[in-house]
Amino acid sequence: MADKAGESFLRLSQSAATTATKRLSQLGTMANQALKDGTQRPCVHCGQERLRATMYECTECRQLCCWDCVVMLPSLPGPSAAKRPLKLCQGCVPLLKKRVCDANIQLRVLRLEAFLADKLEPFTYDPESKLDQSLRLSGHVMTGLKQVSGFLPLGQVAQAIKAGYYLVRYGPLILAGNEIMESFQLIVGLARKLEIPAYGQLLSPDFFAGLYYTMGEHWGQRGRTPHLEALAHTEPSGGIPSPDRGTLLTLRHLTRLLLVSKEPSPTDAQRLLRQAMPGSELLLAELSSASTIPSFFLVCSRTAHAAYLVLPGTRNPADLATDFNAAEEPFGDGLGHRGMVQSAQWLMEEMGSILIQLYTEGYRVTIVGHSLGAGVGALLTLMLRPHISTIFCYGFGTPACVDEALLPSLLTCMVSVVNRDDIVPRLSVRSVQELVDSVLCPGQVAKTQAWMKEDWQAVKDLERVVELRRRGGPSTEGAPDSSDAGAAQDEEQKLMILMEAGVERTRAIRALRAENGDLNGAMLRATAEEVASDDPGPEDLEQPSAPAAPAAASAASALGRLGGLWQEVSQKIPFPSAPSGIQLGPRPPAPEGSAKHTEFFIPGQVVHLYRHNGLARAALAAPSHEALRRIVPSQEMLHDHKLESYALALHQACVEVPRAPTWESFDQRELCACCGSDFAWAFVLQSEAQKMLSRHHCLACGRVVCDGCSRKRLAHANLGFTVPVRTCILSEETITFVDGSAHLVLGSDQ
């Protein structure tokens, strides 16, 4: 027993001695490090002596580098580079980039050789981690909230969310709830980056309000003259220059490749590619999160002997930084968009040899790009043209990225497509300045102020009506008898309309009974009540005809808060300080010394997709065509930039004999063609611009109708509309369904 106790004591003593030795060693190391950190050491690049604690160790050469000379890189691009942050001295940066570039090219060549030998291994699936999945899903949820919270006063966000339906439906704050605000952000971002003189005016609340009313005016101009878009392309002889059908079919086919490039991973893109282009293989797929280093996909078809370099549009904030890097950069015999020139040069260095080898193997090389990718593809095409004589580029939503000197070189090797009001191809220094001048010219400012006053008075009138109802109480005379089948059916139809507008059924029932069946009054009452209070309890339904006075007072108070928010929101938008007033009269000259910017153009032959009677048509246009040089104030100017919008428009443009009915002019009708009511019956604001926005065309019959009578969305394949479009209730009654698609009965009353 004593021997065992002695052995245990000996082991414990040895363990304690070992622990103490390690601790002393650690303390010694820490002391030595502290002494080193407190010493002066020279920088490997500049040679200046700095305190050791303030210096970095180069990841590559392990030499010390000062703060001024160190280069921080999140990672290097390509399949061979380690995905970790790097701290490099300036001497190691070019050496490491060259080594990684050579390794990347070698790996790509191996996949190319495997493809040519018919031994290419497909990309394998990499399961998404729980963290990545949570971040992705939460990002989708927060996107809309970030858009609103970025433009509304922080203290009133909760109130604005409750009032969201009311404001979006009835007021100019529709700008803060959809893609129009994203377009506005693009304009402001470009102006700030390039220091355009109009930047200060863009931040003016007068511009924010004027843009909304300008959209209403533009909507009215197109409605009064339905063939206005076609007139812009009509030649003196009366014809419209159009691309050949083969070109349109090719463009429609290539949109499938671009839709593949939207996938978040190579495996997903590979899976979708098998459906979009059977028989093709995904040779390379690299996604980048660094600026000036574009993402790309290389798709090859062995049977067609075709290779497609697919360049997607803006995918992340790094791509947005490339978009805004819009200063001039020397390129060949002219100038190009700096960010896109740098991206094209990187692609030429990394992918040029691969594309040239495919060309020597007999493959037809085509570059396909959307948005940012289209601009990069145009410049890359010019760089590869001396090596690949047959190379061709197709761009969708191509931004203006080359000057006039480079235009002739691209006319024979590129086609650019611009979809209707797409803002991205039109976004330039010149177009932004012209938009500001048109919105803030004295005449337009006067109209904006008059319309704002008129709309504000309409809101005040609504407050007065609510106050009168609060004092007198709603009348219960003439309430519909629930035992009457016809009245019950009519009430149910009105309930369905209110519920489709977002009103809960219990609130809709109470509002209808309180308004004696008046649908318009019920809509306003239900909306005001939704803003003013939470959902009603069951006890509120017991006496629907006599709501308590405090509830009505709360509704009136809520309307007052809404009116105040609507009136003050433009002054509380958290933009940087800028002139808020508008001087009527001559505009002051631009400040001396302001930067002069080269005018850029859309590269290649331009195909403009416009609309005639609601159906997309195609016209050939010069890069300097006026319709492509100005920003069109439209509610769809960013929606038209989406790939899905391009695919749909090209599908319609391929219809050889359009059968869409001729549209009526807004001037032909003072009242809705279906219900005979005023078009703005469901809107509080009553300015001329708002009245124009309340008019719509039924795409099935071409008549001018109100929003309430055209909420149905149906596809009309026989007219060229393969996706559901706005259809009025009268056309719906004369429609038969064949294979799930609506067909208008010929000979019906239109």
Cα dihedral 660→666→669→670 (10° resolution): 150
| 580 pLDDT tier (thresholds 50, 70, 90) | very low
Q: What's the mean pLDDT when you consider all of the chain? A: 76
- Domain tally, the chain: 4
Q: Are 582 and 493 in contact (CB under 8 A)?
A: no
In a domain, 26, yes or no: no
**Boundary (domain end) residue, out of 72, 97, 121:** 121
Mark whether 531 and 383 lie in a shared domain: no
In a domain, 24, yes or no: no
In a domain, 403, yes or no: yes
Residue 110 has pLDDT above 70, yes or no: yes
**Boundary (domain end) residue, out of 572, 587, 612:** 572
Q: How far apart (Å, rounded) are the C-alpha atoms in residues 665 and 317?
A: 43
Residue 616 has pLDDT above 90, yes or no: yes
Residue 551 has pLDDT above 60, yes or no: no
Mark whether 507 and 413 lie in a shared domain: no
**Boundary (domain end) residue, out of 121, 153, 177:** 121
Mark whether 663 and 693 lie in a shared domain: yes
Which among 363, 750, 304, 262 is positioned nearest to 271, based on CA atoms?
A: 262
The more confident residue out of 416 and 206 is: 416
DSSP H helix total and E strand total for the chain:
24, 22
Domain that holds residue 357: 245-432+599-648
Mark whether 639 and 618 lie in a shared domain: yes
In a domain, 132, yes or no: no
In a domain, 592, yes or no: no
Instruction: Give the tokens for residue 707.
Output: 């929003």
In a domain, 233, yes or no: no
Q: What digits encode the pLDDT tens for the residues 3-37?
A: 666 666 566 667 767 777 777 777 667 656 655 55
Residue 373 has pLDDT above 90, yes or no: yes
| 155 pLDDT tier (thresholds 50, 70, 90) | very low
Mark whether 562 and 534 lie in a shared domain: yes
pTM strictly above 0.75: no
pLDDT of residue 54: 79
Mark whether 519 and 555 lie in a shared domain: yes
Q: What digits encode the pLDDT tens for the residues 78-109?
A: 776 666 788 888 888 888 888 888 888 999 99
Mark whether 250 and 348 lie in a shared domain: yes
Mark whether 643 and 681 lie in a shared domain: no
| 462 pLDDT tier (thresholds 50, 70, 90) | low
Residue 603 has pLDDT above 90, yes or no: yes
Residue 64 has pLDDT above 70, yes or no: yes
- For 326, which DSSP code? -
Instruction: Give the tokens for residue 492.
Output: 């149910």
The more confident residue out of 191 and 505 is: 505
Instruction: Give the tokens for residue 213.
Output: 């009313």
Mark whether 631 and 670 lie in a shared domain: no
- For 310, which DSSP code? E
In a domain, 279, yes or no: yes
CATH number assigned to the domain comprising residue 727: 3.30.40.10
Secondary structure class of 53 (helix, strand, coil)? helix
Q: How far apart (Å, rounded) are the C-alpha atoms in residues 131 and 4?
A: 52
Mark whether 278 and 397 lie in a shared domain: yes
pLDDT of residue 538: 37
Among 8-17, 184-193, 237-246, 437-446, the range of highest mean pLDDT: 237-246
Instruction: Give the tokens for residue 338.
Output: 């700096």
Mark whether 504 and 401 lie in a shared domain: no
The CA radius of gyration of the chain, in Å to the nearest whole number, is 32
The more confident residue out of 84 and 421 is: 421
Q: How far apart (Å, rounded) are the C-alpha atoms in residues 49 and 292?
A: 34
Query: What are the φ and ψ backbone dihedral angles of 87, each rounded to 5 degrees?
Result: -120, 110
Mark whether 408 and 366 lie in a shared domain: yes
The DSSP bridge pattern shows strands 712-716 and 306-311 to be: unpaired
In a domain, 357, yes or no: yes
Q: How far apart (Å, rounded) are the C-alpha atoms in residues 70 and 86?
A: 10
Give the pLDDT mean for 357-365. 95
Q: Are 582 and 204 in contact (CB under 8 A)?
A: yes
Instruction: Give the tokens for residue 574.
Output: 């958290």
